[in-house]
Structure 1
């Protein structure tokens, strides 16, 4: 008796496996530098490698001891020249390097170039990729145009936005972390925008890492309130409002303490204004996770985030989060359920809600539990699948014959490439 012929549907229903890619990732910040962009791109690079892709990481050399090599199998680092960033000497930015990148990618041609930052190295990568007709994807990760008002150069807001628009519109796609940011950028002329959110490591960031020993080092008793904020100590983070909220809390709860994890140009000013604050400097890994989990309330007053990784890290750590209704907080926090949101610009309301949460331990506990449950759904795996799909779509656009013209760089970014940038 003959077996029935197999149905073609039995084959056609299986999705075609996407081939592994050679991906050149270009970024001007990377661990051990500590900031949201560095940590996110590191997770993307690691995830791409784990998913079977070959990754070439192009970044500035961070110091004299920073040598070439592989972070892990499948990730090859190419270190370029870099310069210290004004007011942030521990961070470096790339220098114009188009010639070096054309030479590199002519010899080791990637399938796609992904550019995470829009500085001189990113601009050089964009032009080198277009010169070689390579597909390009980009990230919009930092609100540089919004930062300008905090440093006395608000008049640069429009030129900066014009530069960013030129930069990203020359890519096959630009990935943004939230739908709200996608709408905002589309309204001012940005094209080919796709939402690719960010995940959180819920094993690393967990209430299980709460440490009585660490709290004792801070000089707080088990029932004392620790109000935390994590991030760069800089004007664009709206830390004046944080200090105002903490002062109002201290009026009602004199034993409460403010925990600030991070560093930056405002450190001395904050120490002078709030001498009892616990300033820990930058923390990473398990140490950072213990600092989150050992606090009781997370206040995040920033209005300049594109996402704000600290929001998800705090939620995963079981902390109730008070933030403005924007960026990751708007996407992840349901006010009164997983935390509290305040309308942007409502500083008095932010202080009022902070005081209310400080005086309600049972409410904080409930919000923290629900925040943890919400964070558990914010997996990196789903983010990586979406990111990978955007890379394949960028490649397909170029393969189909779509072309884009790169406009000349603004005068402030135009300069000759050094003879040897590697």
Structure 2
């Protein structure tokens, strides 16, 4: 006769409870192989949910034939492609078109437990309408500061209507995920409801200082001891890139052999090349190639004030690259100035340039900051981020279950 102390009983009692598999519909208007922070983050979340035993249906616009096949690569991710159009000012990205009727039919035949909407465009709006028509719980992401772009694209008069649309969109959802506590506070002050902070992770195996290449640096005209400053991202007005040029001039005054590398592309490239004729322009990079470019930098300059998070900040930190940024988005959340990076007050361009001078002039401090940045990045595990994401979904499902029963419906088996 077995006792409570028998080995078999202990092994059974110690087994974790089986994870409950959910049927999840994820709607996004951007996804790899498109290259941007939202696409990359959503691919990581979809992969993480799949690994956590969930059945994921991914709804996104069909991408141009010139792009590579989608990167999900997971056998249980059911991809549903919809019509798409080029995004104004961003021709390499696609915008979904309204598809409410299609989604109502799709979800009536295969009812998800919850619908998650990553983008607030026409496809996202029709997904919200379809989900509410079917009494499905809905969660969303607030990922892009559309309202902050107004001054850069002469959309000032549309700023309030855009914010009104975003507030209406997200307040119709059961929960909205935001990447930082600061953004949660800002949106709450503007009338957004049911906000949950779910940050972003970084792949520290890909973004690794071991990828540093002397040959790549030589191609930039930089020797082993020369300082290389860099920026990664879209070359566009909303990125505030004039500050990068000012910081570079200050760096050259201290180290005449310093080099500046722009990694990315966009409409400002000709202007930047004219203003900084000795700068290196690599064009858009991705994957391991992008990681090698980060690893070749010594100082990362990121002056954008329009980010909700800014994945490039954590990618640079993971690459053991010292960061100079404004106290905003990911930098404001993760960096302690002088410890694992340098911060300037939002919009204080003179302070940004001064922080760059400090980083350039003290090699020992720069090395210590870069090492601390790498240590910070190593704590940003995508598994933890996915678990927090999952908790928000489960909360929305739990709150919706009484409504299901009142309507005579049952959650998906």
| Fold in common (TM above 0.5) | yes
Offset at 1:258? 0.9
* 1:69–1:77 Cα contact (<8 Å) kept: no
Classify the secondary structure of the residue corresponding to 1:337: coil
C-alpha distance in 1 between matches for 2:66 and 2:233: 26
Q: CA deviation at 1:14?
A: 7.9
Q: Is the 8 A contact 1:259 1:279 kept in 2?
A: yes
Q: Is the 8 A contact 2:19 2:53 kept in 1?
A: no
Residue 318 of structure 2: which of 306, 309, 316 is its match? 316
Change (3 A) 1:372 1:114: same
**Structure 1 residues 151 and 402: alpha-carbon distance in aligned structure 2, compared to 1, 3 A threshold:** farther
Q: Is the CA contact 2:33–2:70 (under 8 Å) kept in the aligned structure 1?
A: no
> Quick one: which of 242, 245, 250 aligns to 2:244?
242
**The residue matched to 2:73 in structure 1 has which SS?**
strand
- 2:87 is matched with 85
Deviations 1:242-286 (A, max 9, x none): 111112222232211111111111111111111211111111111
In the TM superposition, what is the alpha-carbon distance from 1:2 to its structure 2 partner?
A: 8.2
Aligned to 1:133: 135
**Matched positions, count:** 402
2:356 match: 354
Gaps of 5+ in 1: 404-422
The residue that corresponds to 1:379 in the other structure is 381
Report the secondary structure of 1:295's partner residue.
coil
CA gap 1:64/1:187 in 2 versus in 1, 3 angstroms: same
The alpha-carbon distance between structure 1 residues 361 and 195, as it changes in their structure 2 partners (threshold 3 A), is same
What does residue 199 of structure 1 align with? 201
How far apart, in 2, do the equivalents of 1:306 and 1:360 lie?
31
Equivalents in 1 of 2:120, 2:286: separation in Å?
25
In 1, the alpha carbon distance for the partners of 2:393 and 2:16 equals 18
TM-score (norm 2): 0.93
CA deviations over 1:53-93 (Å, ceiling 9, x no partner): 11111111111467799732111111111111122211110
SS at match of 2:282: strand
| TM-superposed deviation, 1:310 | 0.7
Aligned to 1:418: none
Structure 2 match to 1:20: 21
> Whole-Å Cα distance in 2 between the matches of residues 69 and 321 of structure 1?
30
Structure 2: distance between partners of 1:264 and 1:207: 27
Gaps of 5+ in 2: 406-413
**3-state SS in 2 of match to 1:311:** helix
Summarize deviations over 1:327-346 as a string: whole Å, max 9, x none: 11111111111011111121
1:342 aligns with 2:324: no
Q: How does 1:168-317 map to 2 (within 5 A)?
A: 168-317=170-319
1:136 positional shift: 0.7
Displacement of 1:222: 1.1
Cα separation, partners in 2 of 1:183 and 1:68, compared to 1, 3 Å:
closer
Q: Is the 8 A contact 2:144 2:308 kept in 1?
A: yes
* Runs of 4+ with >3 A deviation: 1-6, 10-18, 64-70
Q: Deviations over 1:150-200 (max 9, x none)?
A: 111111111111100010011110000011111111111111100001111
SS at match of 1:165: helix
The equivalent of 2:40 in structure 1 is: 39
* Distance apart, 1:401 and its partner CA: 2.5
Does the C-alpha gap of structure 1 residues 2 and 174 become closer, same or farther in structure 2, counting only changes over 3 Å? closer
Asked if 2 retains the 8 angstrom alpha-carbon contact of 1:25 and 1:114, the reply is yes
Residue aligning to 2:169: 167
Which residue in the other structure is 1:49 paired with? 50
Q: CA RMSD in A?
A: 2.3
Which residue of 2 is the match for residue 59 of structure 1? 60
Q: Is the 8 A contact 1:70 1:76 kept in 2?
A: no
How far 1:361 moved relative to its partner? 1.5
Partners of 2:402 and 2:225 in 1: how far apart? 63
The answer as to 2:149 corresponding to 1:147 is yes
Q: Sort the Cα spacing of 1:328 and 1:401 in 2 relative to 1 into closer, same or farther, 3 A.
A: same
**Secondary structure of 2:59's match?**
strand
Q: Say if 1:182 and 1:276 are closer, same or farther in 2 by CA, change over 3 A.
A: same
Q: Cα deviations across residues 348-384 of structure 1 (Å, max 9, x unaligned)?
A: 0111111221122111111000111111111111101
TM-score, with length taken from structure 1? 0.91
